[in-house]
Structure 1
Amino acid sequence: MNLRPLACALALSLIAGLASPPADAQKKRAAKPKAAAAASACSDFYANANADWLRSNTLLPNVGSVSALEQLGARSRQQQLDLLDAASKAPQGNVQRLLGDFWASGLDEAAVERDGAQPIAPLIGRIDAIKSAKDIPPAIAALHQVGIPVLFNFGADIDLNDFNRHIGYFAQGGLGLPDPAYYTRTDADTRALMGRYSSYVQKILALTGTPQAQLAADAQSVIDLETRIASASRPLLDLRDPRSNFGPVATNTLGKKYKRLQLDQFLKVQGVNDDTVSMANPALFAQLDNLVGSLKPAQWKAYLRWRIGDAMAPYLAKQFRDASFEFRGQVLQGLAAPPSRPQAVLDAITLAAGPMVGHEYAARYLPAATDKRAEEIAAKVRDALGQALDRDTRFSAAAKAEAKAKLDALKIEVGTPNRDLDYTVQPMGRGSFGSNMLIASTWRHREEMKRIGRGNADRRWDVLPQEPSLAYDITQNRLIVTAAMLQPPVFDTGKSAAWLYGSYGALVGHELSHGFDNRGRFVDAKQELRDWWTPAEASAWDALSRRVATQYGGFDYPGLGGTRVNGTQTAGEDIADIAGVELAWAAWHASEPAAAKPASEDFYKGWAALWPQHMTPEAARQRAATSVHAPGRWRANGPLLNQASFGEAFACKAGSGMQLAADQQIRLFP
């Protein structure tokens, strides 16, 4: 290390003072200690390469962290705001006209106030018209159709028995509180929370037209019904395992099993005609079926009226918004203040019409040349992975054959999904933000339901194009790169090819490696769920993981004196970082084999530029305890410590701060 410890500088100063005559000591001031030397490429590449960023970016009050990638997220949000503003003033095409009207209606707070509860009046009117038990299921189905899930959740997701299709999932839901345990716990804190929840339910019921004298009784009816739902629901911890929450059943059996719920008719209303759905908790739906027949219509009307008001409260007049934020924002989330009006409207539009925004975002912010270049680099990295798999000594011949077949089948999708949506939507206009929310969410629900059926598994992404994301989709064996991700620091078109490979290319390599690691091992080349590793390959991976965990576990956690990185917790992502840099380096050298030394430096600078960050001690402690990623300093430096080519590029000696001795370096693909 070239950094000079402060203690050493002070000791030298004292020695110099003792060597001087006493008279001189009285006449002269003590020598000022020398400033610590700036980090060099060979002592701390992260600090050296990011010196300007680290100096010019500081934490704002009440902000836990700032990083280059967080700034990318903030930039993409501002781009969305600019897009919507432009669409409201001079729309280009029908989709922008829809978005522009949606945006303008949300910003017109005076109009929102005048609108009051009118946007939900037709929905409330339908609930008020319920006379008997047979009227309840059609009302439930109609609310799901407009994007207000009540009683349970129903959505499209992958068929775990056939990754080439999506099926509908009947899942637990319908509660106003985020955890079913709230309804059954009896400790003092939970009782206090339930008291505040009852007050919130009453406020919303009052705003939807419930008479004052009836509020307390109706709120109790709501909580009683939700408690019955919660008692048959699974604990949140049990919902983490996809396999245990997958229960395929034939759709033609639902009508007989759940006659009162009329689930066969429910599917028809949602436009679903598939032969299979998932219902992992049939006991819950048996309970719901019984409740339809045993509870009085008046209790159902109170519950459904409440669910409408609660779901739509953030998009209605100020009384609704204030009641919702007071409970959901302050009590449940601990927020000090609601978001700004533009941010709140953007969040609403993202929820209801996010794919529309993504369609227009890519057209506005992703040049065709950038899209093409990103695909080219990703393809080069994929080729480098194929060559690396050939060299990989951990894989047997059979495993290599499976891996190569899987790689050959891998798809790369950049910018926007390959399959677009149907943007035929009822005109919105600028008169009613709440009504526009219902129009847009009805459209989005319709498009979601179209994912159900054979041949629809790749219909769209689970991320939006306007959200920065670069990810490997394990079930579809595809790399997804969103339009928002293709800008600095990930994809800076003003930088050299080497820089682009070091930043974007290394992230591509990171994600592609997940298709062939201890997660990717469970999905084979045919997209079937099976373990294609042998015990020998699993053992080799475990040995590699232990080495990486030990190495990263020796790194100090920045900002937390005495705390080290939890290498066991971060090992999987650390391995992917090492793999990503190796693969991108190989891909870049294959494309530019005669590149000069400055280009090699650019490659590593591109990688380091992804990771600068500042964190408060509180944020650092939370991430150290929970994050599967190493902190920015070690995401930047960790892989480079293990690369001899980094040492060659910057003339770092083995054993220096940034270059491990050859026998200590970890290489994934020798």
Structure 2
Amino acid sequence: MRLTFVALLASTVLAGAAPAATPDFLAPATTGGAPAVAGAPTYGTFGFDTAGMDKSVKPGDDFYSYASGTWQKTTEIPADRSSYGMFHKLQDLSLARTRGILEDAQKQPGSKIGMFYASFMDEKAADAKGATPVKPWLADIKAAKDKAALAAEMAKLNRIGITTPFYTGVGQDDKNPDAYIAQFGQDGLGLPNRDYYLKDDPALAKNRTAYVAYMTRLLTLAGEPNAAARAQAIMAFETEIAKVQWAPEDTRDADKVYNKWSAADFDAKAPGFPWGAYMTALGLGGQKAFLVAEPTAFAGEAKLFADTPLAVLKDYATVRTLDEYARYLSKDFVDAQFAFHGTELSGTPQNQPRWKRGVSLVSNGMGEAVGQVYVAKYFPPEAKAAADALVHNIIAAMGQRIPKLTWMDDATKQKALAKLAAFTPKIGYPTKWRDYSTLVIKPGDLVGNVARSNGFEYQRNLNKLGQPIDRGEWGMTPMEINAYANFSMNEIVFPAAILQPPFFDPKADPAVNYGGIGVVIGHELSHHFDDQGRKYDAHGALTDWWTPQDVSRFTAMTDKLVAQYDAYEPLPGLHVNGKLTLGENMADLAGLSVSHDAYELSLGGKDAPVIDGFTGDQRFYLGYAQVWRTKYRDPILRQQVLTNPHSPGQQRTDEVRNKDLWYKAFDVKPGEKLYLPPDQRVNVW
């Protein structure tokens, strides 16, 4: 199981790398940590943009507005964005840098990344081809003589990145992390999740109507007759799928989603679907064991497949194909796809420039080939060394905090420290780059290049079965503005691109860096001890190593955090889902605690200086608030609340109200809006 720091800004491609050396991160923390270096920081005089504050607001009433109110009022969301904040600003920088890399690559004969990018940028060629590039796939769907043949076609589509009723992948066996296993999960919806089909909400009802119109448009563009009626039938089918799928909060429970099936179990436990034909076409025909995340959903979807007319299932597969590949076809398809996914569901007024979309495509499809050049140009050794020092101090601070916990039994503390000692932090980039020599990229063949890239990644993962675990593998590219915790690997991973201002600036005040990237590091570290991460031991195995008493005391605290977030209302009538967001909210909470400890350790017993009238603790919390500056359009905010385990930016900033030190730093008093009595503050770590 893998958890990210923020909702993914773009889809990722799993990366491969050699195992990295594991330093002694439980050694005493170094004083100074990652000290500021000479020169002016990117933001303000000490690394924080004070001009973006609104000092007319009391910190205790609305800390987000105090720290970022002027920024919120004066910042405009770009027309090609559904939201905008510090993550997006860094992503724009990463996109621009990567554009330069790809444009240079176009000038190099035989460069695969250059050819891939050029094939996307040739808009005239895409317009001239229309839907022709996907016609062979649509013909294969139509030619399926029965449901077994159609299931095999769906499996082939799955291999090139097209959604089918079931997600298929390869990953570590959670209870045996030294082995890879084929994994299945619920999938197959064209709307973001089940709530979009089932909730009685006017905004979602509007989305449903628009979705039927969009499917009608796709079928019409593909030359299909009776498109409107066929789209309605697909919608009815997907609505029934939504009814049997699990709620988002249940899919994050590591125990609930660990269900090992044999090949025979599929027919016995989920009858009605042609599993044999499907498995063979997936390349999984000889596998003995599988992990199935949502068994009841599989049983329900299999029955629906059996009960639904073949013609409707073919139309469903057709629309899924057109929807996924519309962005690579002619302008009429591109515009239809964006009007629905970009504007209707996310609120974005206009599509991104073609170069941005091309950069994202190649960065995802051949991420490490691009990343190798990116790191050489934009991630110098001194930046990596400074980040290593910060990670060292954060992990050391966690090691000092665990023995002091009052709710954890001593025996469990020893196991927790052993898990911490076994940690592998990965900073910047993999130590071994992916080999793309077998990936065929052809000039002028955009759809073929996308399909072969997706197929290359599918086969790369399939080839893992029966092989030793690659513990050096990366799940993000160096260009991504994100980070993640991987429970089965017992690792935390920080791509190069997030190690930049405002998260990390070697020229900034250390307090701001600890409030920024320090909290990110603590966040990912603490995921390994949150309500799900705690279920994995030092070797990455899903096992119960806490005592019942530990769990009881822990749950009593986390229940308070669930209730706290359930009360937040980002849009009228739409509340944050405290259970869905619990892991991420806890990680922010822990990150604040652990990183502040590390900041104090870095001072070496000296008092923090006052800078521009702000104390060290104030600068720490302002640094944290700065990274969560985010403006949202209503549709994407609704989508995040309904589907995403990460809370919106303001609610993540509000996490500070659980910290006694924040109250002291900003003199927050009873009666102020964010004030919580001490016994209501959640302090797990």
TM-score of the two chains, using structure 2 as the length reference: 0.70
Amino acid at match of 1:366: F
Give the whole-Å Cα distance in 1 for the aligned partners of 2:144 and 2:72: 62
| 8 A Cα contact 1:499 1:604, kept in partner | no
1:512 to 519, 525, 544: 525
Note closer, same or farther for the CA distance 1:74–1:136 as it changes in structure 2 (3 Å cut): same
1:335 Cα deviation (Å)? 4.6
1:490 Cα deviation (Å)? 1.3
| Residue in structure 2 matched with residue 495 of structure 1 by the alignment | 508
2:661 to 629, 632, 641: 641
2:263 to 229, 241, 251: 251
Give the whole-Å Cα distance in 2 for the aligned partners of 1:42 and 1:331: 36
1:476 aligned onto 2:489? yes
2:96 to 72, 76, 81: 81
| 8 A Cα contact 1:502 1:584, kept in partner | yes
| 8 A Cα contact 2:55 2:66, kept in partner | no
| Residue in structure 2 matched with residue 431 of structure 1 by the alignment | 444
Q: Secondary structure at the match of 2:426?
A: strand
Amino acid at match of 1:205: L
Indicate the structure (1 or 2) with the bigger Cα radius of gyration: 1
| Residue in structure 1 matched with residue 120 of structure 2 by the alignment | 106
Q: Deviations over 1:401-443 (max 9, x none)?
A: 1111111122211223566533234443442333322222222
1:627 aligned onto 2:647? yes
Give the whole-Å Cα distance in 2 for the aligned partners of 1:653 and 1:311: 50
Note closer, same or farther for the CA distance 1:606–1:361 as it changes in structure 2 (3 Å cut): farther
Please list every run of 5 or more consecutive structure 2 residues that lacks an aligned counterpart in the other structure: 1-53
1:466 aligned onto 2:479? yes
Q: Count how many residue pairs are aligned between Structure 1 and Structure 2.
A: 614
Please list every run of 5 or more consecutive structure 1 residues that lacks an aligned counterpart in the other structure: 1-36
1:75 Cα deviation (Å)? 2.1
Identity of aligned residues (%): 23
Write out aligned runs for 1:137-148 (5 A): 137-148=151-162
2:434 to 412, 416, 421: 421
Q: Deviations over 1:477-525 (max 9, x none)?
A: 2222122210011110213555534532343234323433444433333
1:120 Cα deviation (Å)? 1.8
Q: Deviations over 1:63-108 (max 9, x none)?
A: 99999x922332223322331343223469899x323322232223
Note closer, same or farther for the CA distance 1:73–1:359 as it changes in structure 2 (3 Å cut): farther
Note closer, same or farther for the CA distance 1:641–1:113 as it changes in structure 2 (3 Å cut): same
Q: Secondary structure at the match of 1:153?
A: strand
The higher-RCO structure (CA 8 Å, 6+ apart) is 2
Amino acid at match of 2:93: Q
Amino acid at match of 1:147: G
TM-score of the two chains, using structure 1 as the length reference: 0.72
| Range 349-358 or range 109-118, more displaced | 349-358
Write out aligned runs for 1:36-435 (5 A): 54=70, 58-60=74-76, 70-90=85-105, 97-127=111-141, 130=144, 135-177=149-191, 200-210=214-224, 215-216=225-226, 220=229, 224=233, 227=236, 231=240, 234-238=243-247, 240-241=250-251, 242=253, 243-251=255-263, 261=274, 263=276, 266-267=279-280, 269-270=282-283, 274-279=287-292, 280-281=295-296, 282-284=298-300, 286-287=302-303, 290=306, 302-333=315-346, 335-349=348-362, 352-354=365-367, 356-417=369-430, 420-435=433-448
Q: Secondary structure at the match of 2:74?
A: coil
Write out aligned runs for 1:530-541 (5 A): 530-538=543-551, 540-541=553-554
1:283 Cα deviation (Å)? 2.9
Give the whole-Å Cα distance in 2 for the aligned partners of 1:70 and 1:338: 18
Amino acid at match of 2:92: R
1:587 aligned onto 2:598? yes
Measured on the aligned residues, the alpha-carbon RMSD in Å equals: 5.5
Give the whole-Å Cα distance in 2 for the aligned partners of 1:428 and 1:492: 38
1:523 to 533, 536, 559: 536
| 8 A Cα contact 1:164 1:454, kept in partner | no
Give the whole-Å Cα distance in 2 for the aligned partners of 1:617 and 1:654: 33
Amino acid at match of 2:619: K
Give the whole-Å Cα distance in 2 for the aligned partners of 1:532 and 1:268: 40
| 8 A Cα contact 2:56 2:66, kept in partner | no
1:485 aligned onto 2:505? no
| Residue in structure 1 matched with residue 49 of structure 2 by the alignment | none
Higher helix proportion, which one? 1
Give the whole-Å Cα distance in 1 for the aligned partners of 2:125 and 2:479: 28
Amino acid at match of 1:641: L
Note closer, same or farther for the CA distance 1:263–1:73 as it changes in structure 2 (3 Å cut): farther
| Range 488-497 or range 298-307, more displaced | 298-307
| 8 A Cα contact 2:488 2:540, kept in partner | yes
Note closer, same or farther for the CA distance 1:273–1:496 as it changes in structure 2 (3 Å cut): farther
Amino acid at match of 1:81: A
